[in-house]
């Protein structure tokens, strides 16, 4: 029996979650809410995608009925600003993916339950909701948790890598840099950005240094690494796919080849499907639509000494992350 899911916010992650659901027989999208996107425009936005190409399924909007049909799946469309007014229950949605980027606290996200949702997964870091990264700490989930966070795309890339390294060699301390593709929060040309002046500069023409809490968040999902990692970001003019550079000092030194072997073993074993591994001469576009959370690049990393290494891992910050959102929902359902 499929798991009924609603999506709040039909932006990049909302649409990619819907696309991922079309490939997952255990997930059924039953409703979408977005007050800014009419149903006929939803059809267009879902059908065409600059990065990931045309949708595999036939898409058809019905303005009169307030629905959008993807393949054979009819989806109810709402247009509410206030999440407490969305009638998720009427559509049969048990889980809601909160992907607006606005309702990221437990209190705000809990408003979805007023309309009948039973569980909410926030597709962003949260200041107070329990945070989970599949392959790293999902076993900590308890059925009493109604609102959870799937962390960020960068944390989903870094945490599996950090877990393997820490489990096998001990991660003494580390600095992370993510070279990150542009996102919708950036400006196409120079514009106002009061909280982040550099972030207001033209995304297509600049490499933009930025802050990120992704590395520190690893300490929330792997308590043993709390206070041992921090990081920063460079936003670069590519549409999708980002890469993490983890420069770290190890407790137990090992040749770079041994470290790579441990990561490869994890990618073929307990983290299969979440952590990938490549030893080919790849570039960022080779990972478009890759559904792994993190793909370790054996040829890109380097070691100064046995206990001081730079590890490189790629991630499709849209498709990989969206797939994990549904994986987390499936895990939550299995724990009922």
Q: Among 93, 118, 84, which Cα is nearest to 32's? A: 93
Q: What is the pLDDT of residues 128-163, one digit of tens each?
A: 999 999 999 999 999 999 999 999 999 999 999 999
* CATH number, position 218: 3.30.360.10
280 within 8 A of 299, measured Cβ to Cβ: yes
Q: Do residues 278 and 177 both lie within one domain? A: yes
pLDDT (average), residues 316-327: 98
Q: Tell me which residues are annotated as active site.
A: 153
Annotated binding-site residue? 253: no
Residue 164, in any domain of the structure = yes
Residue 176, in any domain of the structure = yes
Last residue of a domain, one of 73, 105, 124: 124
Annotated binding-site residue? 19: no
* CATH number, position 76: 3.40.50.720
Q: Is the model's pLDDT at 289 over the cut of 90?
A: yes
Q: What is the pLDDT of residues 71-121, one digit of tens each?
A: 999 999 999 999 999 999 999 999 999 999 999 999 999 999 999 999 999
Q: Is the model's pLDDT at 232 over the cut of 90?
A: yes
pLDDT at 1: 81
pLDDT at 288: 98
Could you list the residue range(s) of the whole structural domain that residue 162 is in?
A: 153-317
CA separation for the pair 242, 303 (Å, rounded):
22
Residue 335, in any domain of the structure = no
Q: Do residues 75 and 190 both lie within one domain? A: no
113 within 8 A of 22, measured Cβ to Cβ: no
15 within 8 A of 45, measured Cβ to Cβ: yes
Location of structure tokens 């909701």: 129
Q: Do residues 209 and 308 both lie within one domain? A: yes
Per 3-state DSSP, the chain is made up of helix, strand and coil in percentages (nearest 5) of: 30, 30, 40
Q: In what order do the strands lie in the sheet with 59-62?
A: 59-62, 67-70, 73-78, 27-33, 3-8, 95-98, 119-122, 147-149
Residue 135, in any domain of the structure = no
Annotated binding-site residue? 13: yes
Pair type for strands 242-250 and 308-315: antiparallel
Three-state SS for 155?
A: helix
pLDDT (average), residues 207-236: 96
Annotated binding-site residue? 198: no
Query: Residues of the chain with pLDDT > 70: what percent?
Result: 100
- The pair of structure tokens assigned to 283 is 């570039």
Q: How many CB atoms are located within 10 Å of the residue 272 CB?
A: 12
pLDDT category at 308 given cuts 50, 70, 90 is very high
Whole-structure pTM value: 0.96
In the chain, how many domains are there? 2
CA separation for the pair 248, 108 (Å, rounded):
37
Q: Do residues 308 and 191 both lie within one domain? A: yes
DSSP code for 2: P
Residue 145, in any domain of the structure = no
Residue 137, in any domain of the structure = no
Residue 325, in any domain of the structure = no
Query: Residues of the chain with pLDDT > 90: what percent?
Result: 99
Annotated binding-site residue? 154: yes
Annotated binding-site residue? 153: yes
Q: Do residues 157 and 300 both lie within one domain? A: yes
Please return the burial class of 64, using the count of CB atoms within 10 Å of its CB with bins 0-12, 13-18 and 19+: exposed
């Amino acid at each position: 029996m499929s798991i009924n899911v609603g999506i709040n916010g039909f932006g990049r992650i909302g649409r990619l979650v819907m696309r991922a659901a079309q490939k997952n027989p255990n997930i059924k999208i039953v409703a979408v809410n977005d007050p800014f996107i009419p149903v006929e425009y939803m059809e267009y936005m879902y059908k065409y995608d600059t990065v990931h190409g045309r949708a595999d399924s036939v898409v058809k909007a019905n303005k009169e009925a307030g629905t959008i049909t993807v393949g054979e799946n009819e989806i109810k469309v709402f247009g509410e600003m206030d999440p407490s007014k969305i009638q998720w229950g009427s559509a049969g949605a048990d889980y809601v993916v909160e992907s607006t980027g606005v309702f990221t606290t437990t209190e705000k996200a809990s408003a979805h339950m007023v309309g009948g949702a039973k569980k909410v997964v926030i597709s962003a870091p949260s200041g107070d909701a329990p945070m989970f990264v599949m392959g790293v700490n999902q076993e900590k989930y308890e059925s009493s948790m109604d609102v959870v966070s799937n962390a960020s795309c960068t944390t989903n890339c870094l945490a599996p890598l950090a877990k393997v390294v820490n489990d096998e060699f001990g991660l003494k301390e580390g600095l992370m840099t993510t070279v990150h593709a542009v996102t919708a929060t950036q400006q196409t040309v120079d514009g106002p950005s009061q909280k982040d002046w550099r972030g207001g500069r033209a995304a297509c023409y600049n490499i933009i240094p930025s802050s990120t809490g992704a590395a520190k968040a690893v300490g929330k999902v792997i308590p043993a690494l709390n206070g041992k990692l921090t990081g920063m970001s460079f936003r670069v003019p590519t549409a999708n796919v980002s890469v993490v550079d983890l420069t770290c000092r190890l407790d137990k030194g090992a040749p770079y080849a041994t470290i790579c072997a441990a990561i490869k073993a994890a990618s073929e074993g307990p983290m299969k499907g979440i952590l990938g591994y490549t030893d080919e001469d790849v570039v960022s576009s080779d990972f478009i639509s890759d559904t792994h959370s993190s793909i370790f690049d054996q040829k890109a990393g380097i070691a100064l000494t046995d206990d001081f290494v730079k590890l490189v891992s790629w991630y499709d910050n849209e498709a990989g992350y969206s797939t994990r959102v549904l994986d987390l929902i499936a895990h939550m359902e299995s724990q009922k």
